[in-house]
Amino acid sequence: MASKIPEGEFRNKERTKMKLIQAVGDIIRTQGYTKLGVNRIADTAGVSKKLIYRYFGTTDNLIETYVKGKDYWMAFREAISELAGRRGDDYGRGFMSTILQNLYEHLSGSPEAQKIILWEISEKSRLMREISGGREKLGAELFALVDPFFEETDIDIRAILALLLGGVYYVALHSNATGGSFCEIGTETEERKKRLFKTLEDVLEWAYAEAARQKKDSFRL
C-alpha cells in the first residue's frame, strides 16, 4: 500500500510548483524567454533549483508547463471544444467570431502570452512545434464542423480564418509594442475592440451568407 503524503507536505509542494511556474512568467514578461535558465528561475521563485528537477524533471518541462498554460488554444481547449459542440449545428456560424474575440481579449490582457507568440515565430524549438501542432489539431476539429457548409462553393473559409487569425494576433502584438494606432484605428481600448469585433462578425457573416447564396443558386440550376 502506497504511503499517504501528509496534507501539509502536499500543500507546500503545490505552492512551490506554482512559485516556479509563476517565476517563468515573470522572467518572460520582464526579461524575455532567452533568460530562462535554471538558476534564474530558481532565484526568481526564491527556492532551490533542486526542486525544479524534483517536481518537473527538467527545466524544459517546467517551461512547457507554463507555456501550455498560457497559450489560448491549449489552456482553453476543452472550453473551445465545448462551445463548438454546443453550436455545431450551425456550422460554426455562431461560435467562430466568439473564439476570435476571446483570443483578442486573451492576448490583449497577457503580455506573457504575447511574448510567447513572438518566441514561437522567431525561434525554432521542439516546444513551439508542439504548441503549433496542438493548435492545428484543435483547428482540424473546428474545421470538421465548418467545412460542410462551404462545400460546392468558392468561399475559402480556411483562408478567411487564416487572415482573421493573423490579424487578431498582429493587432494585439502591435498595440502592445507601439501603443499607437493601427490602420488609423485609435488607441482607445474599448472603441478599438468594438470596431474590430464588429468587423470580425461582419466578415464571417458575409462568408456564410455568400456560401448560402451560391448553394441556393446552384440548387436552382
Are the C-beta atoms of 104 and 113 separated by less than 8 Å? no
What are the tens digits of pLDDT across the range 129-186? Answer: 888 888 888 888 888 889 989 998 999 999 999 999 999 999 888 877 777 778 888 7
**DSSP letter string over 152-208?**
TSS--HHHHHHHHHHHHHHHHHHHHHH-S-BTTB-S-HHHHHHHHHHHHHHHHHHHH
φ, ψ at 154 (rounded to 5°): -100, 15
d(CA 193, CA 92): 22
Distances (CA, A) of 50 to 15, 25, 28, 67: 15, 19, 21, 21
φ, ψ at 48 (rounded to 5°): -70, 140
Q: Which of 27, 45, 67 is the last residue of a domain?
A: 67
Verify that 115 and 190 share a domain, yes or no. Answer: yes
What are the tens digits of pLDDT across the range 115-141? Answer: 888 888 888 888 888 888 888 888 888
2 inside domain: no
214 inside domain: yes
Verify that 21 and 96 share a domain, yes or no. Answer: no
What are the tens digits of pLDDT across the range 21-41? Answer: 999 999 998 998 889 999 999
115 inside domain: yes
φ, ψ at 72 (rounded to 5°): -55, -50
pLDDT of 3 reads 43
3 inside domain: no
> Model confidence at 2, in pLDDT bands (50, 70, 90)?
very low
Verify that 87 and 191 share a domain, yes or no. Answer: yes
Q: Which of 67, 94, 109 is the last residue of a domain?
A: 67
Tell me the Ramachandran region of residue 155: left when phi exceeds 0, alpha when psi lies from -120 to 50, beta otherwise.
Answer: beta
- Domain range for 56 is 8-67
CATH code for the domain of 36:
1.10.10.60
pLDDT of 21 reads 95
φ, ψ at 181 (rounded to 5°): -75, 165
14 inside domain: yes
Verify that 27 and 130 share a domain, yes or no. Answer: no
Q: In terms of residues, how long is the chain?
A: 221
Three cell numbers written together for 37: 535558465
1 inside domain: no
Q: What pTM, to 2 d.p., does this model score? A: 0.82
Verify that 59 and 106 share a domain, yes or no. Answer: no
Are the C-beta atoms of 7 and 14 separated by less than 8 Å? no
Count the domains in the chain.
Answer: 2
Verify that 128 and 187 share a domain, yes or no. Answer: yes
Verify that 88 and 38 share a domain, yes or no. Answer: no
In the chain, the largest separation of any two C-alpha atoms, in whole Å, equals: 74
Verify that 107 and 210 share a domain, yes or no. Answer: yes
> Model confidence at 77, in pLDDT bands (50, 70, 90)?
confident
What's the CA angle centered on 127, arms 171 and 119, to 5 degrees?
Answer: 35
d(CA 111, CA 131): 18
Verify that 175 and 78 share a domain, yes or no. Answer: yes
59 inside domain: yes
